[in-house]
Structure 1
Amino acid sequence: MEKTRFAPRAAHIFATLFTLGNKRVGGRFFSVVFALIGSYFANSSLVKAQETEAQPTSNTPNAVILLYHHVSDKTPPSTSISPTNFVAHMQYLKENHHIVSLQEVVKALEDNTPLPDKAVAITFDDGYANIFENAHPVLVEMGFPYTIFINPGEIDVGPQQLTWQQVKLMHSEGVTFANHTLDHLHMLNDEQKLGHTAWIENVWHNVTSAQEIINTKLDVNLHYLAYPFGEFNQALTEKLKKNGYIGFGQHSGAVGPYSDKQALPRYPAAGIYANLDTLKTKLNSLAMPVSHATHSEPRLFQRQLDDPVTLTIDSEDIRLAQVTCFFGGEKIATKVTHNTVAFSLDKPLPIGRSRVNCTAPSLHQKGRYYWYSVPFFVANEEGRYPD
């Protein structure tokens, strides 16, 4: 990077020196020489400062994973970002963050090794054709690695979906493709109706069928699964862990050493979350080191939390006195005791998906916030989940 950026400047300097020398400008020549050399090395110092900023600020990994669906003006607003706004996102990332592949993030979490400061990974769900049309050219031009979680049973089906020809072309150009189940089912549907054994067999057959198709079509065997609609429970995370899978949700927060690798959070960056001004805070966020949570099962069979949720925090860099938790966009009461944060909900949980987000500022990294999300999934009376 240094050679590319500053070699032309160096060439210009020495060409200038040569020209001045030929003109025999006398004593002034040496003044100009020293001024130009000073200018060059001052800028070289700037490069070193920029390179230093690219280094990790911690010995532990921290990254933000972004989630997109549609990149289009003609698709459902709740899951879409316009091509113009998508370019603005990518330009901001190029100027302010370090884009890493999802594989780099996972490896760093598994090995507990640092990532570049302000590392960001880019992901898409569902395999829409507008990703190929409106996002892929931008990402290729910027040299950004990214991952698409696809439903293999939907590829080549309908005009909105990618074709296998497009998938193979994108894969040849460095795009990573991973599992989003065969047909984008609600994985928690009918859990009670079928009974645990039959339910888990059904959903796992769906996952392995999708994995087999991806392996056959692309000759890859990456054991990543993005939960459709972000819905999961403990039984699913345990099944993934037993079978060597990494799982990705749709709840919020950065990822770090304490993150559950079978339920890694991703920040939605489309719809109401596409606003770059509010997204900037999330892009700079830090993974809250929650060493223990009293509420570990996100799937609930009732709409009311019976007990407060308590989070135990393992860090001396968090201003716990300033922790704030939100539910449904509103602040909720919290109680801080030593290194724990507790919250309760006085409202019933909605049918479907909801979450509590808790944030607290960093003591030493000005303007950056630790972020942690507690998701909840509640079925309707028929034991099913809405889209």
Structure 2
Amino acid sequence: MEKRIISYDLEISSESTDAFYEKIQLLGQKVIADLQYFFGSLSADYIEFIKKEQIEKPRTAVEYQLELLTMGVLWTVYGKQAFLLEQDQAVRLTEIVERRKMAGEEKPYYNKLKGKYSTEFLFYPEKEKERLKEPDFNLNGFHKLLCWLRASGEFEQEVKRLTNWYRYFLCKDTTSVENWMRGISAQAIGFQKLCEQELGKYTTCVEGFRRESEISYQGREDILLAARSEVEYHLNMVGAQILNIAFRKAFLQAEKTYIYLPACMMKQKDGGCRAVKKGMGFLCAGCTEDCPVHRVTNIGKKYGAVTVIVYHESELNHTRVSKEQESTGVVGIACVLNLLSGGWKAKDLGYIPQCVLLNYCGCRQHWSEEGIVTRISEKRLEELLKK
């Protein structure tokens, strides 16, 4: 199907995606510098907490600082809803979310339940949110936010990381925590304004799509995905670039490299594609010369990378890299709202990730009933694969 802009677009007017990636690289460096300036001492103390509590192998300071930015952005977007969610509602929906993960053949049933109760308990139209009083961002508010995020089933990686921050803040005095949370909230607001200026032209359709989704996605399990705010698109764009920088050195030293791309890039649909099943994904058979998947596969071969088509990200959950295996790099290609969580998940599974954005979204599952063939900046892919 011909390209149709649903939410974001990296191919605006006659401008190529080169301009976007030039801009996002500069913006990523600026945000890293800002985060280090404002949160350098906090992230250093947090790393000591991580070591003392043996929570995980300590990661880089910039990764933890990105988590603080994520915390602030999610608070600005969902803080009001979090205070509206009642405890029994949170428990009920969280149970549905957990059962859905393990459902197997019953997943369609739990999709319906998730859609029904997400719409009823978690989704509040913009007009209703505007009437709500702005809550204070403190430990109580942070706890409510975590409950809301967990109940949504849409922020598994974020909840995992922010829960550790909540544990850390519980160990600190109230005044210090409140000061830090005010700073985190302020940085999120500043980040939002900065991105509106620098990246707003790529996301001009987001708010219109959000308003439409308030009606058209009612009762669907992905209503919260469709209703994501513009700043969340920007957070994923910048956050993916920050992760690329943080993991770049290790990626360049990886002994094996894979490219994971979504099925929405396939030109031939409904059985026309001849891709061959291999492990948890599919390998391109080269049946269509101008298919984006075929083009990416050829680029991968040029740099010794294996390209795998993945129909759903959940298929990657069973591909953990063992400590005994050699280091494995992966270039994850995804639509913008899956980039940050996808990078975190890949790291948790033992991969060394780099991210490339789809130039626009178009899969049948979430964005278009007809399905739109998506593509990427091949130049950007080659830049990441060069070692």
TM-score, normalised via structure 2 length:
0.28
More strand per residue: 1
TM-score normalised by L of structure 1: 0.28
Report the structure number with the largest CA radius of gyration.
Answer: 1
Q: Relative contact order: is structure 1 or structure 2 higher (C-alpha 8 Å, sep ≥ 6)? A: 2
